[in-house]
Amino acid sequence: MQAFTILLDGVAYGMILFIISVGLTVTMGLMRIVNLAHGAFAMVGGYFATVLTLKGIPFLWSCVAAGLFAGALGALAEMTLYRPLYRKGELQQVLLTIGLCFICISALTLFVGATPLPAIVPAWLDRMVYIGYRDYPLYRLFLIGVGALMALVVWWIMERTLFGAKLRAAVDDPQMARAVGVNVNKLFLFTFVGGCALAGFGAAVGAGIMSLEPFYALRYLVYFLIVVAVGGMGSFRGSLVAALLIGVVDTAGRYLVPQFGGFLLYVLIFSLLLWRPNGLLPPKSAT
């Protein structure tokens, strides 16, 4: 039964990784921009939600507000900083986005402090429920449900709506998309905002597992990048599978072999990328 507990913990962790990382899948895999500041948008959203919750705003409303706030910051950043980078090389993109990440870290350290924020979980989630063989935290089951819902919504938007079709067309051939009347700049703006909003929401709702502190943006950045790379650049299904795999393996390592848990995770990732260099479920254009 311990294996099932590890599985549940890993899935809950993986769902948070997916919600945050799916926006990076968009910017790196579809929009072709190396956005190393993605974790900074998540971090700012998480801090915003915690401040609202401490002021008495209900937990769910605080998480939604965090997503909206991170999306608004993403809109401002996309129009002023990121848009000129679309035609630049990867080195310029890396330098600017990692610089933006350090600016956010310094600002939060200055105004909020260097100590981690307490995880605020509402009373209706901060309890145990019986799952057939033991009591289990309701909060983690809640994360699994939210992650599954977000995965379904993102898949439907990208695969079953006109917006998703336009986005794929704009990425593949922006000049042709403009020629048939698609506003590529507006499309990329909405996509970038959506990715930042998901990151902010994910960091807020998952703060009970991925604790908030000023170096959050760098501490978890490697995990977000791993999800994108292992899943396949631009693959939403791949990102979900990779996030769940990383969550379960990382959790199992910490439970069973805590002294080697992180090492085993990276060995697995290294082996997977040697076997499938384009990711587990790459888009058809990458195969």
Asked if 250 and 261 touch (Cβ cutoff 8 Å), the reply is yes
- Residue range 180-197: average pLDDT? 88
Domain count, the chain: 1
- Residue range 168-176: average pLDDT? 73
Cross-strand bridge partners of residue 130:
135
Tell me whether residue 186 is in a domain: yes
- Residue range 26-48: average pLDDT? 88
pLDDT top residue among 42 and 90: 42
Tell me whether residue 128 is in a domain: no
Q: How far apart are CA 240 and CA 196, in angstroms?
A: 17
Tell me whether residue 282 is in a domain: yes
Average confidence score pLDDT of the chain: 89
CA nearest neighbour of 13 among 283, 269, 243: 243
Tell me whether residue 137 is in a domain: no
Instruction: Render pLDDT for 92-148 as a digit per residue (tens, 0 to 9).
Output: 999 999 999 999 999 999 888 888 888 788 889 999 999 988 899 999 999 999 999
Q: 153: pLDDT confidence band, cut at 50, 70 and 90? A: very high
User: Quick one: which H or E segment has residue 130?
Assistant: strand 128-130
* Residue 73 identity: L
CA nearest neighbour of 10 among 199, 143, 203: 143
Residues spanned by the domain of 167: 2-117+145-286
pLDDT of residue 286: 53
Q: Is the dihedral of CA 107, 111, 114, 115 positive or negative?
A: negative
Tell me whether residue 124 is in a domain: no
Instruction: Render pLDDT for 246-286 as a digit per residue (tens, 0 to 9).
Output: 999 999 988 888 777 677 888 888 898 899 988 888 876 55
pLDDT of residue 285: 54
Tell me whether residue 272 is in a domain: yes
pLDDT of residue 27: 81
pLDDT of residue 11: 96
Q: Hey, what are 26's tokens?
A: 């968009």
Q: Give the CATH number, domain containing residue 107.
A: 1.10.3470
Instruction: Render pLDDT for 211-253 as a digit per residue (tens, 0 to 9).
Output: 999 899 999 999 999 999 999 887 888 999 999 999 999 999 8
Tell me whether residue 75 is in a domain: yes
- Residue range 150-160: average pLDDT? 90
φ/ψ region of 56 (left if φ > 0, alpha if ψ in -120 to 50, else beta) reads: left
Tell me whether residue 51 is in a domain: yes
Percent of the chain exceeding pLDDT 70 equals 96
